[in-house]
Chain A
Amino acid sequence: MATLQHSGSGIAASAAATLLDMRQIAKSFGKNRVLRDISLQVAEGEFLTILGESGSGKTTLLRIIAGFETANSGELWMSGERLDRLPPYKRRVNTVFQHYALFPHLTVEENVAYGLRVSRQVETTISSQVEQALARVKMTAYAKAKPSKISGGQQQRVALARALVKRPQLLLLDEPLSALDANLRRQMQVELKSLQREVGISFVFVTHDQEEAMVMSDRIALLRMGELEQVATPREIYRHPATAYTAQFIGHTNLLRVQVSNRIVRCNSLSWTGDLPDGPALLSLRPENIRVASSPGPPALNRVRFRGRLRHQAFQGATELLQIECSDGLIFFVRTSARADWQGELEFEFDPGDGLPVRESAERT
């Protein structure tokens, strides 16, 4: 079951008017239920990311908004108008395709002009708009080139210009950065985000890369096996993951299976006091919330201490991720600042307040 308990906390969603309203969208391909009961709003000027693993249904949802697929049930509304009954070419929605889908037989310029020509605009206004659009993405120099003669990053910019020149109300981007190498990708993330601020158009961005989603989005809608797992701002979703799946998918986490009775929380041999209802619970504790104990001896007030043996150490630049095994078999991931000489048994501590209760993610098939 999808719960949207955090959706109200999205800043953009509550501040601006709703542009796109998806109401209980469901889609199956044969027996395969790809999307179930998706309800989601996109605000004016918002950068919303649909994040999910491959097969989660994110691309299908995007194609339904664009009009390439028809939902089996549910409605799409945009600015108070029913959208899902319109053919793709009548929607004020444009798409940047995953592999750009630039027309190989047309030049860069003709590609950008395409959408204006087919809607029978006057040639003189077309050329000035095309010029502007190409200037905006810094591709003026390549106006006469065929798409096969320019690089992936350049193709990406042309695809953007081609979609933006139509002045859509909503721009859909289907993993547009996935074909680029890491450096170019980071650069394009920044460019895309600032471009979106500049043009003020709502973006719906599909990706499987959680870091990319965190960097760019106003809000993230996390999709899992056809259902929304959580919709919230990047900070919110990281700090307050609603489910175990969210906690694990967005960043690293330690999932602690605990038993609570009379405000005493027990996890294997560890125990502490905490404000949780009685019964079993699942806590998410981020690796960066665990510290190497500063001095041996009794823990500071409200700290939980444990000892463990270093099993693995992954160097990640400024920080490193340690894998610690306790004598009772518990395994913890701990993030510390990079230091080369961790060895043997170590003592750690964490604030039990950082262990956030999360819901078990429902089994789905």
Chain B
Amino acid sequence: MFSRTYRAVVTVPPLLWVTVFLLVPYLLMFCYSFWSVSTSQNVVHSWTLSNYRQLVGVHVYGQTLLRSMWIAARVMLFSLLLGYPLAYFLSFYAGRRKDLFYQLVIIPLWVSYLVRAYAWKTILGSDGVLNTLLQYVHLTKHPLEFLLYSPFAVVLTLTHIYTPFAFLPIYASLEHIPRPLIEASQDLGASAAQTFWRVVFPLSIPGVLAGATFAFVLSLGDFLAPLLLGGPSGIMISNIVVSLFGAAYNWPLGAAISLGMLVLVVSLLFVSEGLEKKWRFS
């Protein structure tokens, strides 16, 4: 029913914009990763594999990537452990207060990421709220130093930030489960636990996968929380990229690492999408 002109008018502008500001930049990142920098710190536009050789050859990159993935995996796990029971509670037990609780989960999302990370810093610091509280009630004599500037602080902060992200798709998938299925399960003699493990949980797997993907991917690429709270032992892969684009001034190497991250993230998205399709029955 829509004329050719109509379809052209709605298609061409976004297509052009997305090409110029998303596709071309990704391609450029690809190109950069095969260029190099001269001694006078100019980008040399000739093709070389040296960046990738460095990536494989220098251990700190691989180690940092592994550490980032380990941090991201923990964030993912904790976000699911916090988010799933919360979503289950809201969907099945909250009754009339469901909407209120739902909004209470959403509201922290509207508070700046940076500000929340900063708030954790004021809580965890050596003269921060937590340490002074512990000393105030005489639980400790000296401030606990491991709280701030450690992978622990990074995982804690990122879990705080990404728990709502894990919660949302899980909650949505639980809400989409037709309630008569629960009643049918009970009618057929299943206990509450059996109903959960045999009916509710399998049907919520797409949501779990989506939430897990969100938490993992977004925390994997984070560089602000490590800068603010991580200290030397909490450095993540993006921090290396940031320094390569900044003080270390090696854009091509930074581009190679970014591209590696991009490929990793996109393949994760594909895997999660494929798994989700398997678990989606309607």
A–B in direct contact per CB < 8 Å: yes
B148-177 CB contact bits vs A (8 Å, 1 = yes)?
A: 000000000000000000000000000000
Q: Does A87 contact B (CB under 8 A)?
A: yes
Q: Is B103 an interface residue (CB 8 A)?
A: no
Complex Cα gap A68–B3 (Å): 10
For the complex, is A211 an interface residue (Cβ under 8 Å from B)?
A: no
Chain B residue with minimal CB distance to A88?
B1
A191 adjacent to chain B (CB < 8 Å):
no
Decide if A69 is an interface residue (CB 8 Å cutoff): yes
Quick one: which of B1-22 are within 8 Å of A by CB? 1, 3
The chain A residue sitting closest to B1, CB to CB, is A68
Bound together, the chains give a CA A67 to CA B2 distance in angstroms of 10
CB proximity of A216 to chain B, nearest CB, Å: 28
Q: How far is the CA of A67 from the CA of B1 in the complex (A)?
A: 7
Q: Which residues of A contact B3 (CB under 8 A)?
A: 87
When C-beta atoms are compared, the residue in chain A nearest to B3 turns out to be A87
Chain B: CB-nearest residue to A68: B1
Contacts of B1 in A (CB 8 A): 67-69, 88
Give the interface SS of chain A, mostly helix, strand, loop or mixed.
loop
Contacts of B220-272 to chain A: CB distance below 8 A: none
A69 to B1, CA, bound (A): 6
What distance in Å separates the Cβ of A83 from its nearest Cβ neighbour in chain B? 15
Q: How far apart are B252's CB and chain A's nearest CB, in angstroms?
A: 49
Q: Per-residue CB proximity of A53-94 to B under 8 Å, as 1/0?
A: 000000000000001110000000000000000011000000
Q: How far is the CB of B7 from chain A (nearest CB, A)?
A: 13
Residues of chain B within 8 A (CB-CB) of A68 are 1
Give A104 to B93 CA distance when docked, in angstroms: 35
How would residues 178 to 222 of chain A score, 1 for a CB under 8 Å from any chain B CB and 0 otherwise? Answer: 000000000000000000000000000000000000000000000
Q: How far is the CB of B4 from chain A (nearest CB, A)?
A: 11
CB distance from A63 to the nearest CB of B (A): 8
Taking CB as reference atom, which chain A residue is nearest B6?
A87
How many Å from the CB of A163 to the closest CB on chain B? 17
CB-based nearest B residue for A69: B1
Nearest residue, chain B, Cβ from A63: B1
Q: What residues of chain B lie closer than 8 Å to A69, measured between beta carbons?
A: 1
A70 to chain B, nearest CB (A): 9
**Once the chains are docked, how many angstroms separate the CA of A87 from the CA of B6?**
12
Per-residue interface assignment for chain A, residues 118 to 129, with 1 indicating a CB less than 8 Å from any chain B CB and 0 otherwise: 000000000000
Within 8 A of A (CB), among B88-145: none
CB within 8 Å of B: which of A287-311? none
A88-103 at interface with B (beta carbon < 8 Å): 88
CB-defined contacts of A88 to chain B, threshold 8 Å: 1
B152 CB to closest chain A CB (Å) equals 53
A131 nearest CB across to chain B (Å): 31
**Alpha-carbon separation in the docked complex, A88 to B1 (Å):** 8
A66 nearest in chain B by CB position: B1
- Nearest Cβ distance between residue B184 and chain A, in whole angstroms? 31
Cβ-closest chain B residue relative to A87: B3
* A88 to B6 alpha-carbon distance, docked (Å): 14
B204 to chain A, nearest CB (A): 34
- What distance in Å separates the Cβ of B179 from its nearest Cβ neighbour in chain A? 26
From residue A29, how far is it (CB to closest CB) to chain B in Å? Answer: 14
B2 to chain A, nearest CB (A): 10
Minimal beta-carbon separation of B142 from chain A (angstroms): 66
Distance in angstroms from B191 CB to nearest chain A CB is 44
Q: Tell me, in angstroms, the Cα distance from A69 to B2 when the chains sit together.
A: 9
Instruction: Tell me the residues in window 36-69 of chain B with beta carbons closer than 8 Å to chain A beta carbons.
Output: none
How far is it, in angstroms, between the C-alpha of A87 and the C-alpha of B1 when the chains are bound? 9
Report chain B residues within 8 Å CB of A87: 3
Complex: A87 Cα to B2 Cα, angstroms? 9
Q: How far is the CB of A59 from chain B (nearest CB, A)?
A: 13
Interchain nearest-CB distance for B207 vs A (Å) = 31
Minimum distance in angstroms from A44 CB to a CB of chain B: 28
- Assembly CA distance A305 to B111 (angstroms): 90
Min distance, Cβ A310 to any Cβ of chain B, angstroms = 44
Closest chain-B Cβ to A89's Cβ sits at a distance in Å of: 10
In the complex, A88 Cα to B3 Cα: how many Å?
10
Interface residues of A in 206-247 (CB under 8 A from B): none
Cα–Cα distance between A79 and B269 once the two chains are bound (Å): 58
Cα A68 to Cα B1 in complex, Å, equals: 4
The CA-CA distance from A182 to B123 in the complex, in Å, is: 70
Contacts of A67 in B (CB 8 A): 1
Q: Which of A162-188 contact B (CB under 8 A)?
A: none
Closest beta carbon of chain B to A72's beta carbon, Å:
16
Give the interface of A toward B (CB within 8 A). 67-69, 87-88
Instruction: Pick the 5 closest A-B CB pairs, nearest first.
Output: A68-B1, A87-B3, A88-B1, A69-B1, A67-B1
B residues lining the A interface (CB < 8 Å):
1, 3
Could you list some 5 contacts between A and B, CB below 8 A? A67-B1, A68-B1, A69-B1, A87-B3, A88-B1
